[in-house]
């Protein structure tokens, strides 16, 4: 990726930089591959909810996957059609459910029986019929970091297989709910298609079970989770959506008239974003040299939160690579972007790019230490 260094020179750091051509190319390819098979993509707003990015998505016909009342409001304001908005999350508050009902969203992805009872009661109070999907915990191990796996029985997400009998019995009595879908989401940053194949086979089994109980849901929703290449952000910056969607075509058996839905977040936006920072100091430790940046865990939390890897580049220097620990300024040892990172000789004032920050980057930023919020710049308006 080439950065407009002439334009960066005058900007205060740190800031987020979005390559809108990359974003456009990624969104077009995902759309093309999904449309070819008649599949629907609902963009998971939680990955990045910047206005400009949301407007690009809604203009291109994406649906929305929301995890809070404010995300629902934001999706509606950004032009996503109400019926394409889905609402997920284990802890939907009453006021968030009311927001969703007022917006007439397409579907509540329900994660427990008590939640269904609350949605039913509130829908009744507002004279509405709520469309719901049951989020089923398929017990598929996504083999990613344990903080980002969600499809195993011992975590807080979804409804377990052994509870389904009770769920459908309860649903008969919850007259303000209409069962529209079966929902699954097994985790995030999954790059091994075998894992999604495992999900397809589990979904087929669940479909059989529901069919035996005389239920054919209109929608099957297999969530998100398709990963990106953090090691080599430029090698194939558009993830292989063709392989991803074709796998579902091959292994997931839809019933006639059933629609298939995806809730992709990371794969759509990660590679378009970068965190740009300046070197404040280069400091010698005992065996290590530290590069201290003006960006930290307040701008990009992922390394501190899940030890995740982001490629780091020095945009100002060239020459033979040396090893540095690249750290932020915050008083936490976990405020570290990378250890033994190979960089050309690095000095105070050099511009550093931390790559692939378009997903779960800016949205997770905080003002801890009363730091300023880093602004965002876009390639097409610099």
- Whole-angstrom Cα distance, residue 27 to residue 56? 9
Q: Under a CB-based contact definition with an 8 Å cutoff, are residues 108 and 176 in contact? A: no
φ/ψ of 16, rounded to 5, equals: -95, 140
User: According to CB under 6 A, which residues from 9 to 68 bind ligand PLP?
Assistant: 44, 46-47, 65, 67
Return the residue of 116, 136, 264, 326 that touches ligand PLP, per CB under 6 A. Answer: 264
Q: Under a CB-based contact definition with an 8 Å cutoff, are residues 312 and 341 in contact? A: yes
Using CB under 6 A, which of the segments 191-199, 239-247, 258-266, 294-302 binds ligand PLP?
Answer: 258-266
Report which secondary-structure segment, H or E, holds 27.
Answer: helix 20-37
| Cis peptide preceding 339, ω within 30 of 0 | no
Using CB under 6 A, which of the segments 71-79, 168-176, 230-238, 260-268 binds ligand PLP?
Answer: 260-268
Using CB under 6 A, which of the segments 29-37, 173-181, 218-226, 361-369 binds ligand PLP?
Answer: 218-226
Number of Cα atoms under 13 Å in the Cβ half of residue 25? 13
Q: Under a CB-based contact definition with an 8 Å cutoff, are residues 34 and 41 in contact? A: yes
- Whole-angstrom Cα distance, residue 23 to residue 194? 27
Residue given tokens 């899940």 in the structure block? 306
Using CB under 6 A, which of the segments 9-17, 193-201, 208-216, 265-273 binds ligand PLP?
Answer: 265-273
- Whole-angstrom Cα distance, residue 267 to residue 197? 18
Residue nearer to ligand PLP on the CB measure, 179 or 270: 270
Residue nearer to ligand PLP on the CB measure, 188 or 274: 188
- Whole-angstrom Cα distance, residue 350 to residue 364? 25
Residue 308 contacts ligand PLP per CB under 6 A: no
Return the residue of 48, 56, 188, 308 that touches ligand PLP, per CB under 6 A. Answer: 188
Residue nearer to ligand PLP on the CB measure, 203 or 264: 264
Beta carbon of residue 191, minimum distance to ligand PLP (angstroms, whole number): 11
Residue 88 contacts ligand PLP per CB under 6 A: yes
Q: Residues in the site for ligand PLP, rule: CB under 6 A?
A: 44, 46-47, 65, 67, 88, 185, 188, 223-225, 263-267, 359
């Amino acid at each position: 990726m080439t950065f407009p260094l002439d334009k960066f020179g005058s900007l205060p750091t740190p800031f987020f930089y979005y390559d809108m051509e990359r974003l456009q190319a990624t969104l077009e390819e995902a759309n093309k591959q999904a449309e070819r098979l008649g599949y629907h993509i609902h963009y998971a707003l939680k990955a990045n909810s910047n206005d400009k990015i949301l407007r690009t998505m809604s203009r291109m016909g994406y649906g929305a996957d929301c995890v809070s009342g404010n995300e629902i409001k934001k999706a509606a304001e950004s032009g996503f059609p109400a019926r394409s908005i889905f609402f997920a999350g284990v802890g939907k508050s009453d006021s968030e459910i009311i927001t969703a009902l007022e917006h007439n969203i397409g579907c509540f992805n329900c994660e427990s029986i008590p939640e269904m009872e609350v949605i039913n009661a509130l829908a009744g109070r507002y004279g509405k019929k709520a469309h719901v999907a049951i989020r089923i915990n398929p017990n598929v191990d996504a083999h990613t970091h344990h903080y980002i796996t969600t499809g195993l029985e011992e975590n807080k997400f979804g409804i377990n297989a052994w509870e389904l009998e009770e769920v459908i019995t309860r649903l008969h009595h919850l007259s303000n709910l209409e069962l529209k879908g079966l929902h699954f989401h097994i985790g995030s940053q999954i790059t091994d298609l075998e894992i999604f194949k495992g999900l397809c086979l589990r979904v087929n089994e669940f479909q059989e079970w529901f069919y035996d109980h005389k239920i054919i849901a209109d929608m099957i929703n297999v969530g998100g989770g398709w990963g990106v290449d953090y090691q080599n952000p430029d090698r194939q910056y558009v993830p292989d959506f063709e392989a991803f969607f074709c796998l579902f075509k091959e292994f997931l058996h839809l019933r006639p008239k059933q629609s298939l839905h995806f809730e992709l977040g990371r794969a759509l936006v990660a590679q378009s974003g970068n965190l740009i920072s300046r070197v404040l100091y280069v400091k010698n430790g005992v065996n290590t040299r530290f590069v201290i940046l003006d960006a930290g865990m307040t701008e990009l939390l992922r390394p501190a939160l899940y030890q995740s890897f982001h490629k780091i580049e020095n945009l100002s220097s060239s020459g033979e690579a040396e090893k540095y620990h690249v750290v932020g300024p915050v008083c936490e040892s976990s405020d570290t972007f990378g250890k033994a990172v190979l960089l050309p000789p690095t000095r105070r004032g050099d511009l550093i790019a931390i790559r692939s920050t378009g997903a779960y980057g800016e949205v997770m930023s905080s003002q801890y230490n009363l730091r300023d919020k880093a602004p965002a710049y876009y390639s097409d308006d610099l």
